[in-house]
Structure 1
């Protein structure tokens, strides 16, 4: 694949640019200790990821803080423990505090020298605005779940993406989708006929973490272990 042929990159944000697993675990782990549960971060994230995906499918018009709080309460019910309103709201309000991966901001700045950058995210506008304090990204467009009234892997984000490409003067063939989640992004990218690059952030860890196992056919054209590796490959291609 010739990376110099693309005009724009669309990004999943949480899991790809923002370390959402660390952010979620920072709330789930102290709650579990308070409840006397001897569960690892990985076990908590696995339980959480399934519940979040279910809430997003059932209640697509809910804002992401409500999704987080509801999924947390369901995790508690599954584990036989109470999640108080205080704990649920703590997770719901935590998105702006989730850290960026150390290489994300630098990689975005390097990629912006060659492409238009687009965010395609399953959060709300205020949540992403908070995250972009860490990313400092120069984005040509930002498409959130709040904008489209649904959560990936539903098609809504990708219909909005098609409209956005037209307004930016970018051909669909000139777009590469870049994401970590096979479930949320590479399944729909395959369905939509979009080329994609997998940022395999969990390459050194087993299991799925907070991202559910993909439930449909997926594929990807390129694989990198980090955004830094991807940006290196792009710069090499343009040189």
Structure 2
């Protein structure tokens, strides 16, 4: 299929639009400043991701902010450091400062002319309005994967869509086989790309726009 064959994009907010790693790395600096050894960005993010994976089964209990707060606390313990709950909450609220990739706003402006743009990710319900305002989308267009939108026949019928209409736009291989296609965006990976079930393998949101324009000319 061509990019022009889809009607809706389901975009992973924290892998494709927001530079989640840069946001986490910046927010970890107050904690890492007290670490006696040198910890590279890659090492710190690897340690953090391991902690998050261990906590994720408790996501429904903790919520997104709670997950980040506990992750900060447990990371400190892994590193032999002390961190207060206040510091953990400050880390959790840093999500508001996670930077957008430079190409994301312009790409979304272009793509919304051709697609229904739906964003998915983890956010607390109380934070979603501000989050959606930053992205320039209505709140109903932010989805949680836990809601399994492509399996919700009532939601699909209400929105006049079918699973085959969707192109999943993500930064890593994801288990969303019901989508019509998968567009894998791996920024800065060069030759070190992850293999995955991608129909389109693209470098950035800006590249997605370029590829779409080429599809229009075919």
TM-score bracket, shorter-length normalisation: 0.7 to 0.9
The corresponding residue for 2:17 is 17
**Structure 1 residues 161 and 101: CA distance shift in structure 2, 3 A:** farther
Cα distance in structure 2, aligned partners of 1:5 and 1:117:
15
Q: Does 1:106 align with 2:106?
A: yes
Cα distance in structure 1, aligned partners of 2:74 and 2:63:
17
The corresponding residue for 1:41 is 41
Q: Does 1:237 align with 2:215?
A: yes
Aligned 8 A contact 1:197 1:223 in 2: yes
The corresponding residue for 1:221 is 199
Aligned 8 A contact 1:11 1:179 in 2: yes
Q: Does 1:201 align with 2:187?
A: yes
Matches within 5 A, 1:1-239: 1-137=1-137, 141-144=141-144, 148=146, 156-158=147-149, 163-182=154-173, 186=174, 188-190=175-177, 192=178, 194-204=180-190, 218-239=196-217
Aligned 8 A contact 1:117 1:138 in 2: no
**Structure 1 residues 224 and 97: CA distance shift in structure 2, 3 A:** same
- Using structure 1 for the length normalisation, give the TM-score: 0.80
**Structure 1 residues 157 and 238: CA distance shift in structure 2, 3 A:** same
Residue deviations 1:186-222 (CA, integer Å, cap 9, x gap): 2x123x4642101112415979xxxxxx9xx951111
In the alignment, structure 2 segments of 5+ residues that lack a partner are none
Residue deviations 1:67-115 (CA, integer Å, cap 9, x gap): 0011111111211212221221111111111110000010011100100
- Using structure 2 for the length normalisation, give the TM-score: 0.87
Cα distance in structure 1, aligned partners of 2:142 and 2:154:
12
Aligned 8 A contact 1:69 1:91 in 2: yes
Cα distance in structure 2, aligned partners of 1:133 and 1:25:
24
**Structure 1 residues 163 and 61: CA distance shift in structure 2, 3 A:** farther
**Structure 1 residues 94 and 57: CA distance shift in structure 2, 3 A:** same
**Structure 1 residues 15 and 84: CA distance shift in structure 2, 3 A:** same
The corresponding residue for 1:151 is none
Shift in Å at residue 132 of structure 1?
3.8
**Structure 1 residues 221 and 32: CA distance shift in structure 2, 3 A:** same
| Aligned residue-pair number | 217
Q: Secondary structure at the match of 1:82?
A: coil
